[in-house]
Amino acid sequence: MNIFIPHHWLLEHLETNATSEEIQRLLSLSGPSVERVETKEGESVYDIEVTTNRVDSLSVRGIAREAAVILQQAGIGAQLRAQNIPEIPAPQESTLPLPQIENDPRLCRRITFVILDHIKHTPTPEWMAKRLRQIDQNIHDSAIDITNYITHELGHPCHAFDYDKIMQLGGLIKVVEAPAGKKLTTLDGVEYATVGGEVVFVNADGDIIDLPAIKGTANTAVDDSTSRIMLWIESIVAEKVRFGSMTHAIRTVAAQLNEKHVDPNLAPAVLQRGVQLYQELCDASIASEVYDDFPSPISPAPISLSTKQVEQYLGISLDQDTITKILQALECQVEWTDDSTFRVTPPTFRPDLTIPADIIEELARIYGYHNIPAKIMDTPLPLNRPADSTFQLELHIKEWLTMLGWQELYTYSMVSETQALASGFTVDEHLRLQNPLTDDKVYLRRNLIPSLSEVLDNNSQRPGLSVFEIAYVYHPDSGALPKQELQLCLVGQKPLREMMGDVEVVLRRLFLKSRIHQESDTLGTLLVSTDGTDWTKCGVLSRLSNTRSALTIELTQLLSQARRHPNYKPLPKQPALSESLTFTVPKKTMVGPLIASIQAADPLIDSVHFEGSYQDNVTFAISYLHPDQPLSSKDIEPIRKNIVTLVESEYGGILVGTLS
Amino acid sequence: MTIEDLQLQADHVLQQLSAEPTSDVSELRTRYLGKKGLFNQLAKVIGQIDPADRKTAGAILNQTKASIEEIIARLTAAGEHQALDWADLTLPGKKPPIGYVHPVSQAMAEITQIFERIGFVRVRYPEVDWDWYVFESLNMPPNHPARDEWETFFVDAPKHPEKGNMVLTTHTSNGQVREMERLGSTPPIRMINIARCYRRQQDATHTQMFHQFEGLVVDKGITIQHLKGTLDYFAKEFYGPEVKSRIRPFHFQFTEPSFEVDFSCHICHGTGKIENEKCKFCKSGWHEVGGAGMVHPNVLKAGGIDPEVYTGFAFGWGVERTYTLKPGLNIDDIRLLYSGELGFLEQF
């Protein structure tokens, strides 16, 4: 959460000669990060990111407290100024009766308030208005703006009730958990119905008269006619504040502070400061004693730790004096139990300090992270790699494909309903996001083809464009996490033979042979093998149109077959004998199986290559090789005869020419 | 005549040939290899050699003839070379059509290599995971305000009885406890997990999908010094030897202490100024890259590791953010990375 701190407001709480640049730099190095320093109305305003655990720093005073310690440590004079807020005096004239308070200490840790009478609705004075503008707050009038001002200054939210409205509603404030379905209207006129479990204030009739710690309700809020104010501070249990605020999406400054365990011990100072300002600016008179119900103040638990633990984190040792000095500057109590162990009791405004590591963090950041040396680990290396460590091969595949003319893409894992349907699965067969941000990213995809096709559609001026992506697709698995399949998908607009040639080259680099088993005119199965005998299904080839085809490969499966090196075969002692055979085959004869059949016809056939086709004729280059002996044309005569018979009987193909 | 004499004469012929001017190669061929050429004259002397040595003499003559042929062939080739047609050597090359490895892949490969050099093991873990691994085991109980920063996508699927909701991973930190589990809660751990992450936000600097890399080191005696050393090493390897890293306090539920990590600007070298003007690239001398910290004892416990015995550090940064801080890669809209915009991708 970011907070704006005007420089001169800060200096009311911090005595220092540090420049705003020094404050920005040093605070950022050892405390909250000052993201930028803006000039607003002629003055530096710090924009500071305060982390969720440091609600104590979400105020001018909180930042001043941090800055005092950090600047001092850096050798720049700095001191937190004392808070000279006058005590709230006794009621001046006649007192007004207090409303009846029925607290539930399980829900609210503290309630304190005072009644102020004769409120004048004066315009907010320029000095206050300027500061509120600098911190991006709207200006109303003094009676309202004082509460915002002191919240920002001291860090505990407070609220101004219209006293007369409270009394007209029965004069009872009861702290309860709301039942479901109760109506309330916030002070800005928005209506809500409770879901049950929010902490609310109700009157005797059970009507909601405030949504405490989050936002006031219209029926008790200050308006232009208000002349009596109940300046009120409550400390609702943080988890309850968060529940109410998140449930109704009411994210006021008050809610964002109160949900982070604001220290209830801050309340008296805030009340005093409020009274001071109402007296000064609205001419208020005090019309009651201060009511304060704080049944069980929480004392922070002491944390024990040792200098050895400090060293375990920092790698250097800090001496007793340094440790004590730093922690005391942070308002912790330090008690040494012996030379090396000590007990730290944090101040009440630091509920984030609960374990030794928290204390070590305080020591390290104030000591200065830049004062700790840097070195690489000299500890043992892990040797236990996961089985699926194929990252390098994946990178190689990407590099090979790009060199063959394929563009790599990254597309979103979430797809639209149209894309989900285009994947070959029904919409219901997809995992769906409960809370998608946009309509085009709703389903977890099961196939990369639609995403890649969309990119090709969007680049229609590049007719030859061919693209690929390696990404997970997500297959639902009842009751379990989805099965994540690492998919390599190619969508190409090259001629199909060229595309498959590219794929064969890549597979060759992985020492894999491949073939396609044709299922239909548009669909084929990719099979791969290391030795040409055992074939494993690894993917699907689909023709998307006459000019576009897609190949999806289950990459993990493929890479489990891949090899890093070949099975070396001794070089042949004799040259191979080669010849071309041309066959006239019936239309739609599939060449792939034909090659496989010829190859399998005789062990002396070393290779069969497709040389080309013309009309119904296909030509193969066949190479014969005997491992030890030279082959003569006579030796291969019977093999050639076999081939011709086989092609004729299994495929109806007729040899062009005659057998010699 | 002895063998030695023959060898001397043969050497003499070769030396003479080597010293010939090379103007007319065909004339040389006739003079050395022709019927009445020098070689044949040399070969005649074989009759004068002792019959016992004739085999050796034959070998010398064969070798000499081969050498003469080789020299003449070389001179012939050189002559042809001089006679080549004119060619324009300045013509631009004819390039085959190629594609480009996506910048995110390039960045991930570089990051992987850098960390593998100091013994990190790259792993992969689910991108759709249980709340337990993404939040709860990382010391973030349900409804904790710290979760607000992770704009989480929830998957419409039944809750796991122990591990809670199914979510898209908002960060790679889900790999922390998973890695501890993979190793049977037994350090040493030096993990680098690079994966897709998802957050419910979209503008010029945020995309619903992005990538993070997560480092996790756990062992006895791991300190903030090792984290600082690792960050410095990465900064120098990835951005250049003059770049420095620094850590500043921050808060994450799953680390304690927690840090924000900055790298010094390579343009103004960490000064924030160029000739007394504010550096326009970094504005402060430093670039914030992401978070880091010492592993919270509760996270070690969730992974079955005793925080009394072991300590560790972790860091997790956006790949896109880290990559686009490189010199010359000031990409103002990271949505381009996932747009399929060829004009963009073909620059990488």
pLDDT at residue A298 tops 80: yes
Min Cα–Cα distance to chain A from B155, Å: 4
pLDDT, one tens digit per residue, over A402-429 is: 999 999 999 999 999 999 999 999 999 9
Contact assignment for A388 to B346 by CB distance below 8 Å = no
pLDDT at residue A539 tops 80: yes
Kindly state whether B348 is in contact with chain A, defined as any CB-CB distance less than 8 angstroms. Answer: no
Min Cα–Cα distance to chain A from B89, Å: 25
Measured CA to CA, the distance from residue B144 to residue A5 in angstroms comes to: 27
Contacts 24+ apart (CB under 8 A), A297-300: A297/A264, A297/A265, A297/A348, A298/A109, A298/A348, A299/A345, A299/A348, A300/A345, A300/A346, A300/A347, A300/A348, A300/A350, A300/A351, A300/A353
Q: What is the pLDDT of residue B71?
A: 86
Angle at CA of residue A28, ends A305 and B192, nearest 5°: 70
Kindly state whether A357 is in contact with chain B, defined as any CB-CB distance less than 8 angstroms. Answer: yes
Q: What is the pLDDT of residue A660?
A: 62
Contact assignment for B230 to A376 by CB distance below 8 Å = yes
Q: What is the pLDDT of residue B32?
A: 87
Min Cα–Cα distance to chain B from A437, Å: 6
For the residues A69-98, what does the mean pLDDT come to? Answer: 92
Measured CA to CA, the distance from residue A368 to residue A72 in angstroms comes to: 12
Share of chain B above pLDDT 90, in %: 56
Q: Give the nearest chain A residue to B250 (CA atoms).
A: A51
Contacts 24+ apart (CB under 8 A), A428-435: A429/A476, A430/A476, A431/A474, A431/A476, A431/A482, A431/B128, A431/B155, A431/B156, A431/B157, A431/B166, A432/B155, A432/B156, A433/B153, A433/B154, A433/B155, A433/B156, A433/B168, A434/B153, A434/B154, A434/B155, A434/B156, A435/B153, A435/B154, A435/B200
CB B200 within 8 A of CB B153: yes
Contact assignment for A481 to B105 by CB distance below 8 Å = no
Other CB atoms within a 10 A radius of the CB of residue A354 amount to 14
- Mutation to test the B interface, candidates A377, A416, A505, most B Cβ within 10 Å: A377
For the residues B141-147, what does the mean pLDDT come to? Answer: 78
Share of chain A above pLDDT 70, in %: 100
In this predicted model, which residue has the larger pLDDT, A444 or B84? A444
Q: Which residues in A128-206 belong to E strands, given as ranges?
A: 159-162, 172-177, 180-185, 191-195, 199-202
Kindly state whether A400 is in contact with chain B, defined as any CB-CB distance less than 8 angstroms. Answer: no
Q: Which residues in chain B belong to E strands, given as ranges?
A: 121-123, 128-130, 166-168, 189-198, 209-219, 245-252, 255-264, 273-274, 277-278, 286-295, 311-318
Residues of B in contact with A454 (CB under 8 A): 340
pLDDT at residue B310 tops 70: yes
pLDDT at residue B77 tops 80: no
Kindly state whether B33 is in contact with chain A, defined as any CB-CB distance less than 8 angstroms. Answer: no
Min Cα–Cα distance to chain B from A434, Å: 5
pLDDT at residue A92 tops 80: no
For the residues B80-108, what does the mean pLDDT come to? Answer: 88
Q: What is the pLDDT of residue B46?
A: 81
Return the DSSP state at B152.
Answer: P
Kindly state whether B161 is in contact with chain A, defined as any CB-CB distance less than 8 angstroms. Answer: no
For chain B, what is the mean pLDDT? 90
- Pick the range with the lowest mean pLDDT from A324-333, A442-451, B77-86: B77-86
Give the one of A444, A476, A481 whose C-beta lies nearest to B129's C-beta. A481
CB B316 within 8 A of CB B172: yes
Q: Which residue has the tokens 């690079």?
A: B194
The two three-digit tokens of residue B315, written as one number: 């860091």
Residue B162: what residue type? E
Share of chain A above pLDDT 90, in %: 93
pLDDT at residue B249 tops 70: yes
Phi-psi label, residue B119: left if phi above 0, alpha if psi -120 to 50, beta otherwise: left
pLDDT at residue B149 tops 80: no
pLDDT, one tens digit per residue, over B101-120 is: 999 999 999 999 999 999 99
Q: What is the pLDDT of residue B283?
A: 75
Min Cα–Cα distance to chain A from B100, Å: 5
Q: What is the pLDDT of residue B3?
A: 83
In this predicted model, which residue has the larger pLDDT, B88 or A174? A174
Q: Give the nearest chain A residue to B141 (CA atoms).
A: A239
Measured CA to CA, the distance from residue A282 to residue A308 in angstroms comes to: 57
Contact assignment for B182 to A386 by CB distance below 8 Å = yes
Kindly state whether A313 is in contact with chain B, defined as any CB-CB distance less than 8 angstroms. Answer: yes
Q: What is the pLDDT of residue A81?
A: 97
Residue A563, φ and ψ in degrees, nearest 5? -120, 160
pLDDT, one tens digit per residue, over B186-235 is: 999 999 999 999 999 988 888 999 999 999 999 999 999 999 999 999 99
Measured CA to CA, the distance from residue B337 to residue B108 in angstroms comes to: 14
Contact assignment for B217 to A377 by CB distance below 8 Å = yes
Measured CA to CA, the distance from residue A607 to residue A620 in angstroms comes to: 10
Contact assignment for A370 to B104 by CB distance below 8 Å = no
Q: What is the pLDDT of residue B23?
A: 67
**DSSP secondary structure, A513-547, as one string:** EEEEEE-SSSEEEEEEESSSSS-EEEEEEEE-SSS
Kindly indicate the confidence band of residue B281, based on its pLDDT and cuts at 50, 70 and 90: confident
pLDDT at residue A93 tops 80: no
pLDDT, one tens digit per residue, over A336-390 is: 999 999 999 999 999 999 999 999 999 999 999 999 999 999 999 999 999 888 9
For chain A, what is the mean pLDDT? 95
The two three-digit tokens of residue A603, written as one number: 């062990």
Kindly indicate the confidence band of residue B80, based on its pLDDT and cuts at 50, 70 and 90: low
pLDDT at residue B82 tops 80: no
Kindly state whether B297 is in contact with chain A, defined as any CB-CB distance less than 8 angstroms. Answer: yes
Kindly indicate the confidence band of residue A532, based on its pLDDT and cuts at 50, 70 and 90: confident
C-alpha B297: how far from its chain's center? 35
For the residues A476-488, what does the mean pLDDT come to? Answer: 96
Q: What is the pLDDT of residue A455?
A: 96
pLDDT, one tens digit per residue, over A132-168 is: 999 999 999 999 999 999 999 999 999 999 999 999 9
